[in-house]
Amino acid sequence: VALSGVSEGNIEALLVAIGEDNLDLLPEGVAAAPLKGTDILVCCHRQRDARCGYCGPVLVAEFEKELEDPKYKAAGEVRVHK
């Protein structure tokens, strides 16, 4: 889902809602909308994991060559990425 209306003041309640997998618990002012299509997150962060710093840019280059309409993000850090 795509979230809007997230701020420092409501992040704790938002994390509770996400942790409980219950969007009905979203804090006031935060809206959730379904994503359309497919997004690919590619970790390219070299400092925490050298494999990502090496393989990430290679994967992004391959996606650019092979996909007609690539929708990917070269992410600085994707927490659960191994």
Flag whether the pTM goes above 0.75.
no
35 has a pLDDT exceeding 70: yes
The percentage of residues in the chain with a pLDDT greater than 70, rounded to a whole number, is: 80
79 has a pLDDT exceeding 50: no
Query: What's the chain's length in residues?
Result: 82
H helices within the chain, ranges in order? 11-19, 50-66
Residues 6 or more apart from 1 whose CB is under 8 A from it?
23, 32, 33, 34, 35
